[in-house]
């Protein structure tokens, strides 16, 4: 059981890193688009992607914390 939870934890950590990197890339692209085009009044596609990636990162981090709590509960 613990081995399975550790594998799940590693997968969740990889998803956190993936979401973080995609969010940063979307941020850099939206910043570049904003600088080249001038002021933006509404949210661009890249900004919406950045927002989704931030929420995904938070969800994956929360799930990773739950898995750690389960591992600690099983260990005791």
Q: What is the pLDDT of residues 14-43, one digit of tens each?
A: 999 999 999 898 888 877 766 677 666 566
Domain ranges for the chain: 2-75
pTM equals 0.76
Q: What is the pLDDT of residues 45-61, one digit of tens each?
A: 878 888 899 999 999 99
Rounded to an integer, what distance in angstroms lies between the CA atom of residue 69 and that of residue 54? 23
């Amino acid at each position: 059981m613990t081995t399975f939870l550790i594998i799940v934890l590693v997968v969740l950590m990889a998803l956190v890193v993936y979401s973080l990197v995609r969010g940063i890339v979307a941020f850099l692209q939206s910043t570049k688009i904003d600088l080249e085009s001038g002021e933006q009044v509404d949210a661009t596609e890249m900004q919406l992607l950045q927002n989704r990636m931030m929420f995904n990162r938070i969800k994956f981090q929360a799930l990773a914390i739950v898995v750690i709590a389960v591992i600690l509960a099983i260990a005791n």
